[in-house]
Amino acid sequence: MDESLRWFATADLSKYEDKYISIVDKEVVCAEDDPEVAYRKAKEKYPDKEVVLWKVPRGETFIF
């Protein structure tokens, strides 16, 4: 299993339900209602790193 996928499968992201989160090196950097804001804040903090943007579903729904 890919390392990133393994992290997503085991991380407790419940406190970010229904938010867009930006992730850098397996760390949630920002959680926002607006995906552009979440991405921009992460890029400002880590300009040379890859940012993963993810919408955390509400409840038990988890879609790959």
How confident is the prediction along the chain (64 residues), in pLDDT tens digits per residue? Answer: 477 778 877 889 999 999 999 999 989 999 999 999 999 999 999 999 999 999 998 876 555 5
Q: Which helix H or strand E contains 60, and what residues bound it? A: none
**H helix runs in the chain, sequence order:** 3-10, 35-45
Give the pLDDT of residue 60. 65
Cα–Cα dist 21/51, whole Å: 10
Give the pLDDT of residue 63. 55
CB 57 within 8 A of CB 22: no
Q: Give first-to-last CA distance, the chain, whole Å.
A: 13
Give the pLDDT of residue 8. 76
